[in-house]
Amino acid sequence: MSTKLAIVILAAGKGTRLKMQVPKPLAPLHTNTLVDYVIKAAESMGDMFLITGHQRELVEAHVTKEHKGFGAKNFIHQKEQLGTGHAVKTYIESNKDALDYEYTMVMCADTPLLTSDVLSALLFEVEKGHDAVVATFKEEQPKGYGRILRSEKGFSIIEEKDASDEQRKITEVNSGLYIFKTSYLKEHISGLDNNNKSGEFYLTDTVKEGFNVVPKLFEDKNSFMGVNDLYQLSIVEKRLKNRNHKTLMLESGVRFLDPAHSYVYSLDVGEGSVIHPNVQVDDKSIIGKNVILEMGVTVMNSKIEDGAHIKANSFIVDSQVKEGAKIGPMAHLRPGSSVGKNSKVGNFVELKKSTLGESTSVSHLSYVGDAEVGSDVNIGCGFITCNYDGANKHKTIIGDGSFIGSDSQMIAPVKVGKECYVASGSTINKDLEDGDFAIARQKQVTKSAMAKRFIKKKS
Ligand code: UD1
Ligand code: CA
């Protein structure tokens, strides 16, 4: 156990203003939740403790599932939410190791834009020999925030409710992020009272004039934005993806045709890739170099390799697209699919739990489920794997170099060898050996000049 830094995340509040069914730490932000971002920003810096209260079972279950190393010892139960000071006091009193840490950082669960750079800068500041450092920023409309009162004797924080009109004009505000020397925090947390307009125990009352505590003003206020309601959530979500886009453009050489209308949350996109509007990529996906993601493409938890071209409105989940492959437009890669190097999956093709080898082509209107298709295979239009018998799923295997004619079905389980030829319109339910030719359709019958018997004229 590192005994240098304990990180205490305040997550016990109700979040009433958010008007959501879930507790505030679990409010969704893209495909994650608010608290996930806060944990991610801080996890490499020290040991984490989450103060939980309102709907704590949900919050604790989520965090335990999503973040390695979290267990019962990392959650501190604050039974009644009597204020931020009370939350931290509860932590100090109920975690027997709390005093072993040289420093204690306190952050809120509702500030998902915080970065590890900001946290490191704050730690660097306190290590200069201060007892506490408070992260502050300037806000032209400071409503709702605690104000920073600076004087010759030091500084203190006044909550908006308790501030005079004059104090409310101050634009430097408390971000809610702090690092304390643990011994200082312990000494000052026990003496807090709730003689204020809110009747709460304020953590902010632990910093006072005349003590060895300093505010650190950060230029970029974006990192500190909190989420209290759905409007702020929408702004934070936008800032998060805009920040990502900017990093991708400036540091990774990714081109966006219209960054305001793209939604790329992954930072793993290679140089030379081009993102069209209305593209969604989650933070679990990896996109290689020189990839084109056309209009309306969605990529979730998937890997798209160098030079792949994903055409408009394709939807890719839990899958892999290898080098130079072409997908879409309007293709659907469902979980467990893999498209080989230089292969092609065309319009209205659905793949499910299927692999295609190299340079294989399924170009039009097909369903390929639970299949293993080799390399250099050509599958014609309107091909269907009949993989489901109503109870179980079965496999279709097609060997390298085979040609499958249009409008064919494979009734699984079935295996087609290498370099086979299946004639159009065939329903295949028996295995084929390498090199076999199969045709499975009714013989055509032609009756000369008989069509007029069947052509109905409107009366
Ligand atoms: C707090 C600060 C304010 C600062 C602002 C920044 C205090 C007294 N004020 O105000 O100076 O400008 O943050 O956003 O600290 N929580 C608990 N248990 C409690 C009370 C709160 O866990 O008993 C949690 C909440 O869930 C939330 C965080 O602490 O995540 C902050 O509480 P909140 O009531 O939102 O504080 P603010 O009024 O925003
Ligand atoms: Ca708040």
Q: Which atom of ligand 1 is nearest to the CA of 87?
A: 18
- Nearest ligand to the CA atom of 175: 1
Render pLDDT for 228-286 as a digit per residue (tens, 0 to 9): 999 999 999 999 999 999 999 999 999 999 999 999 999 999 999 999 999 999 999 99
Give DSSP secondary structure letters for 400-445: TT-EE-TT-EEESSEEE-TT-EE-TT-EE-S-B-TT-EE--SPPP-
Give the active site residue among 30, 130, 364, 394. Answer: 364
Average pLDDT over residues 206-224: 95
Cα 1 to averaged position of ligand 1 atoms, centre (Å): 29
Q: What is the pLDDT of residues 143-192, one digit of tens each?
A: 989 999 999 999 999 999 999 999 999 999 999 999 999 999 999 999 99
Distance CA 331, CA 298 (A): 11
Instruction: Give residue 458's pLDDT.
Output: 86
Q: How many CB atoms lie within 10 A of CB 365?
A: 17
Q: Which residue has the tokens 């140089």?
A: 271
pLDDT digit string (tens) for 69-113?
999 999 999 999 999 999 999 999 999 999 999 999 999 999 999
Nearest atom of ligand 1 to the alpha carbon of 176:
6
- Ligand 1 atom showing the smallest separation from residue 10 Cα: 22
157 lines ligand 1 (CB under 6 A): yes
C-alpha 209/C-alpha 72 separation (Å) is 38
**Does residue 215's CB lie within 6 angstroms of at least one atom of ligand 1?**
no
- How much of the chain, in percent, has pLDDT values that exceed 90? 96
What does R_g of the chain's alpha carbons equal in angstroms? Answer: 31
Instruction: Measure 131 CA to ligand 1 centroid, in angstroms.
Output: 21
Q: What value does the mean pLDDT take over residues 1-7?
A: 78
| Cα 230 to ligand 2 centroid, rounded to whole Å | 13
Q: Which residues of 80-109 are buried (b: 16+ CB within 10 A; e: fewer)?
A: ebbbbbbbbbbbbeebeebeebbbbbbbbb
**Using CA positions, which residue lies closest to atom 20 of ligand 1?**
83
The answer to whether residue 364 is catalytic is: yes
Q: What is the DSSP letter of 456?
A: P
**Per the structure block, which two tokens stand in for 245?**
């886009």
Which protein residue's CA is at the shortest distance from atom 25 of ligand 1?
13
Ligand nearest to the CA of 24: 1
Q: Is 146 in the pocket of ligand 1 (CB under 6 A)?
A: yes
pLDDT at 436 over 50: yes
With the most atoms of ligand 1 within 8 angstroms of its CB, the residue from 18, 63, 76, 108 to mutate is 108
Our answer on whether the CB atom of 88 is closer than 6 Å to any ligand 1 atom is: no
pLDDT tens by residue, 340-361: 999 999 999 999 999 999 999 9
Q: Determine the Cα–Cα distance for residues 142 and 160; give it in Å rounded to an integer.
A: 9
Residue 13's identity, in one-letter code, is G
Q: How far is C-alpha 367 from the geometric centre of its chain's CA atoms?
A: 29
Domains of the chain in start order, with CATH, are: 5-224 (3.90.550.10), 242-438 (2.160.10.10)
Nearest ligand to the CA atom of 232: 2
Q: Is 140 exposed, middle or buried (0-12, 13-18, 19+ CB in 10 A)?
A: exposed
Per-residue pLDDT at 1: 41
pLDDT band at 459 (very low <50, low <70, confident <90, very high): confident
**How far, in Å, is the centroid of ligand 2 from the Cα of 146?**
10
